[in-house]
Amino acid sequence: MAGINECTRHYLVKRLTTDPEWDIYEKNTNKIDRKKSRLQDEYKQHLVDYFDESLGPLRETAVGEFIFKECNLSIKKATRHPEPQNNPDKLWLRQEWSKTEINFINNCIFIDESAFDINMRPSTARLSRGTPAVIITPLTKAASYTTLGAISSMGVANIEIQVLVSPKK
């Protein structure tokens, strides 16, 4: 019946009949008989502040469980934004350029560059719940591989892949 084990069904029916105010969807943790935490509030706040500043990854261990349950932090998939991407000056320049009256369908060839991500940071970060995981990464000057592509309304004009060689020291 509904994919629930028979013993579990009996337990749930018995619990609902004896305690009608019991919320079946509430997380069942033993909050009454739980040991008092040895970590004081100032240390909890220090951990929360530390993870807000560093955004580093953490393996699921006893410390990870403590941070998740007690400090109310969660692991999220991080979104990286290069530093200059959200610069107010760049945003203003993009907005001014978009106001120009250019016929994009017939008169433009779009050139784009894609580079290998040198930062190589984990794709997750620990943050307090409800906070988006956005990491501002420093802009790097060199890329290992660069792909240049030019497209127009008529199709792909050119594609080129360059392997950048670092100078020997």
Model pLDDT, residue 12: 80
Tell me the one-letter amino acid at 3.
G
Residue in 84, 87, 96, 140 with CA at minimum distance from that of residue 115: 140
Model pLDDT, residue 65: 76
pLDDT at 60 over 60: no
pLDDT at 169 over 80: no
Residue in 162, 112, 164, 118 with CA at minimum distance from that of residue 139: 118
pLDDT at 96 over 80: yes
What is the DSSP track for 100-142?
S---HHHH--EEEEEE--SS---SEEEEETT---EEEEPPPS-
Model pLDDT, residue 104: 66
User: What is the pTM for the complete model shown?
Assistant: 0.24
Q: What's the mean pLDDT when you consider all of the chain?
A: 71
What are the extents of the domains in the chain? 6-25+36-163
Model pLDDT, residue 160: 73
33-45 pLDDT tens trace? 666 767 777 887 8
Average pLDDT over residues 130-148: 65
Model pLDDT, residue 122: 65
